[in-house]
A and B are shown apart, each in its own frame.
Chain A
């Protein structure tokens, strides 16, 4: 059963210093099943963040409809929580305070809040660091806090915008594994943006491939690999085949970019 439904969605931005608008994405049709893990790949600037922000209800759309569980998305809601790329933790709050932040904003009853916060901090493996402040944590730890903050408000849909983009390759792999581990626990619907092809295949049930000029969906690739996913699969024939398909899609984008640059 599909939980998120996008029909003919277009998002426009105002161009800087003019009244003209710029079409960031258009003609987006997408259905996402409840409990599935969907990844979105595409080269930089093709509108991945824009798409996610629109589903989060943080930016208005120029046309089309976005529905989550049949309800029209008109703004942020308790059914969705977002994990941002970086720098979205409050520097003056501890890990505990940051995870508590979402619960405070959603006016959760104070009774069990601190227990709940502690539970989710433990879940992302930061039990020892509850009293640390963001600047005292590594990039990977900060993203764990971000994830804990989103999970703590118990959303139906988890929206993740390149959460591991700033991390080194090893940390990234570990974090991906842990995220899957957590996800397999309660199977919240997850929408995960990345520009790393391997990450998209490794994590996803489906990979949505986006292209640009204008931002659009080029294809949706079903990833038929068994779960739980393991690092050994990275070298399997199926994985290599998926990698090749996706790389061709993205390379086409890069070529068109090259042509624009050559022409200029």
Chain B
């Protein structure tokens, strides 16, 4: 039992602090410190959650946002890592792509949103494009730097055993860059989610971001909160999944096991 507590301490503490926040939130409204109009309340949100679930509104919004998220991230994964690998082989390509990467990090991409609407229309393709652009930068940059910074000592040792280019890539550069690739994925997941929600806030016909904007306009705080909480829950679930992935790819650090 004590072992269980030790192993799940982080999870337990997280749940407790979450419960405390919910409790304080509810009490603040119940005691009349702040009007429910401004911050709603957990019980109101729960009731509204149920209503949206029953009407099918909730599942539509979730499905739309998730599919946009998956498409944007999936595309970014293929293009970002693909270009990263290619750029690690070709200096020219790396130099050609470099300005875009600086832009991707430094430029508020959402500012060119109207252009996307002009090209792709109001709706899913535009949202996917935004999520893609948000997510592709760290995937590309981390793939490139992971492969380029392959350990020179390891490469020399491998060459002494007659390694070919393909061996150096598959047996040294790639496995050696797993940690930084996963770190890039972690960034990309967060950015793709932000891209989807931000895109939907500005213009869409369905989705969690759309729902937030829609009810926000109508000053329906409680209905708006339902989608906000859902976005938060997705954020937490995705982060947890990534931690699992990190642990799985890093298992050689934590215990014996054959390669």
Question: Which residue numbers of A lie inside 8 Å of B, CB to CB?
Answer: 56, 58, 76-78, 80-82, 84, 87-88, 90-94, 96-98, 100-102, 104-106, 130-133, 135-136, 153
Contacts and interface: CB of A to CB of B under 8 A. Distances in A.
Interface stretch (B12-20, B75-83, B168-176): B168-176
Contact of B157 (A82, A94, A106, A130): A82
B172 to A, nearest CB: 7
Please report whether the interface of chain A is mostly helix, strand, loop or mixed according to DSSP. loop
Nearest to A56: B160
Contacts of B256: 94, 131-133, 136
A88 B162 contact: no
Please report whether the interface of chain B is mostly helix, strand, loop or mixed according to DSSP. helix
Contacts of B172: 90
Contact of B160 (A58, A100, A130): A58
B153 A84 contact: yes
Tell which of A58, A105, A133, A136 has the most Cβ of chain B within 10 Å.
Answer: A105
Contact of A133 (B153, B161, B253): B253
B163 A105 contact: yes
Contacts of A136: 256
A135 B161 contact: no
Interface of B: 151, 153-154, 156-163, 167, 171-172, 175-176, 178, 252-253, 256-259
Contacts of B159: 58, 76
- 8 closest pairs, A vs B, by CB? A97-B259, A88-B157, A93-B259, A105-B161, A102-B161, A131-B256, A82-B160, A105-B163
A66 to B, nearest CB: 15
A106 B162 contact: yes
B170 to A, nearest CB: 10
Contacts of A93: 252, 259
A76 B168 CA distance: 14
Tell which of B161, B162, B171, B172 has the most Cβ of chain A within 10 Å.
Answer: B161
Nearest to A107: B162
9 contacts: A76-B159, A76-B160, A82-B160, A92-B175, A92-B252, A94-B259, A105-B161, A105-B162, A133-B253
B153 A87 contact: yes
Contacts of A101: 158, 161, 171
Contacts of A132: 256
B258 A131 contact: yes
Tell which of B156, B158, B159, B259 has the most Cβ of chain A within 10 Å.
Answer: B259
Contacts of B175: 90, 92
Contacts of A153: 161
A141 to B, nearest CB: 13
A82 B159 CA distance: 10
Contacts of B258: 94, 96-97, 130-131
Given A94-B252, A101-B171, A81 B259 contact: no
Contacts of B158: 101, 105
A76 B253 CA distance: 31
Given A90-B175, A92-B176, A96-B259, A106 B153 contact: no
A85 to B, nearest CB: 9
Given A90-B172, A96-B258, A135-B253, A58 B161 contact: no
B135 to A, nearest CB: 26
Given A88-B156, A88-B157, A131-B257, A76 B162 contact: yes
Tell which of B153, B154, B163, B252 has the most Cβ of chain A within 10 Å.
Answer: B252
